[in-house]
Amino acid sequence: MMVKEARSPLRWIFLPPFVAIGTIAVVVFLSSSRPVSVDPAWWALTGLLFIVLTILYGMFLNQGFTVGLFPLQMVAQGILLCPLSLAFGAGMLQWLGVTMAVCGASVLVAVYYRHRRELRLEAIEELSASNECTLPLLFAVTDGEGNILSISDALLDTAKTTREAALQGKITFFLKPGDETTVLGDKKWSVRQTPMEGGGFYFQLDEYQDEGPAPAFAEPPEPFVDPATQLHTQAYAFRRVGEELYRVRRYQRFLSAALLSFEFPDSAPPEDEETFWISYCRLVRANLRASDVSSLVGPHDIFLVFPETPREAAEVAVGKLLELMPPLLESYSSLEAPKVTDGILFVGASSDLTDAAALLKALDERVGKR
């Protein structure tokens, strides 16, 4: 972040117009008998830029900033040096002026982006420190090498780490792949590890309950992917969407959601229709990001949620998914193209939607189906 210093009246003697006295003196000292006529428009542009940079320098001084003053001074003096060196026949100083201006501008850009990044990190840390809450689901999605692609805020809070640090590391920071339990935040957790299509893995942490050996009739863990369509199960999708909506409200983030409704003609053969539908659903899942949520909420209705995605990008994603259908239909001569109705909704931090059911209802109203 930009550093502030104690204010002193002496700081104003370094304003660019005062420093320019020295610049002009150097140019005059190195002048020659071969001056070059400088276009008045160039002088006017130089003067305008110099005034703007002087005002910006004064604002920096008034706010007490120290970082950024030197590169700003370099830009101002470099811009002034270019026409002066030509007018007084000191042509060798022209390139010095260009170099000073370019280097100073480059440093200013670097300082600006570093300042923005530090402000963003500070805001995240302050928000995390002032809000203590347990999110509904602790999960992470990784690629085949263990690199984290998506992670819930609940898991970040439990591990007391930041999203930036987690996304730069591996899942081994939180657990050891293959183990049934892990200790995180001074608490023991059960680990559910599920392979995903494409070689990735889904990890979910649940509260550990030591109930002795499981009975022989114990039900297997609830799947989060439908084996036929490869889309998420509705139960898993609703839990994930609830977590994402909570994160939107708490961390001032956003997401986009969509509902795609397909209506096949009554003349479509049931067997071909079912085969086509399963193939299309698999194509949809294969063309989504690992962090996206997709689930069937009706016989031919697909519910989609795109975390951290503006509405425009969601519209593009939905358009690409719909473009997958015509090539697939070419393999089914007995089927006609279904009627497609879609609705897209952007959800920001000010939204009053609190769960997946409410979000789906809002999408239903846009589609006008139910």
Residue 287: CATH number of its domain: 3.30.70.270
pLDDT at 307: 92
Same domain for 104 and 168, yes or no, is no
Asked if the model's pLDDT at residue 39 lies above 90, the reply is: no
Residue 330 within a domain = yes
Residue 215 within a domain = no
List for the chain the helix, strand, coil content (%; round to 5): 50, 20, 35
Q: How many CA atoms lie within 13 A of 103 on its CB side?
A: 11
Q: Which of 78, 96, 130 is the last residue of a domain?
A: 130
Tens-place pLDDT, residues 163-199: 888 888 888 888 888 788 888 878 888 888 888 766 7
pLDDT at 132: 38
pLDDT at 130: 40
Band (92; pLDDT cuts 50, 70, 90): confident
Same domain for 253 and 361, yes or no, is yes
Same domain for 13 and 105, yes or no, is yes
Same domain for 122 and 13, yes or no, is yes
Same domain for 363 and 313, yes or no, is yes
User: Per the structure, how many domains does the chain have?
Assistant: 3
Asked if the model's pLDDT at residue 86 lies above 90, the reply is: no
Which residue type is seen at 265?
Answer: P
Q: Which of 70, 101, 130 is the last residue of a domain?
A: 130
Mean pLDDT of 346-361: 90
Least confident of 65-74, 183-192, 254-263, 317-326: 65-74
Find the domain containing 272 and state its range. 234-367
Same domain for 121 and 144, yes or no, is no
Instruction: Report yes or no: 260 and 322 within 8 Å, Cβ to Cβ.
Output: yes
Residue 213 within a domain = no
Residue 2 within a domain = no
∠ CA 53-54-60 to the nearest 5 degrees? 90
Q: Considering only CA atoms, which of 325, 320, 288, 282 is closest in space to residue 304? A: 288
Helix (H) or strand (E) segment spanning residue 151: strand 148-151
The more confident residue out of 5 and 102 is 102
The pTM for the full model equals 0.47
Rounded mean pLDDT of the chain? 82
User: Which CATH number is 156's domain given?
Assistant: 3.30.450.20
Q: Which of 130, 157, 185 is the last residue of a domain?
A: 130
Asked if the model's pLDDT at residue 144 lies above 90, the reply is: no
Range among 126-130, 195-199, 283-287 rated most confident: 283-287
The more confident residue out of 201 and 218 is 201
Same domain for 196 and 258, yes or no, is no
Rounded CA-CA distance 360/245 in Å is: 12
Band (219; pLDDT cuts 50, 70, 90): low
Rounded CA-CA distance 330/318 in Å is: 21
pLDDT at 17: 87
Residue 4 within a domain = no
Same domain for 241 and 357, yes or no, is yes
Same domain for 80 and 39, yes or no, is yes
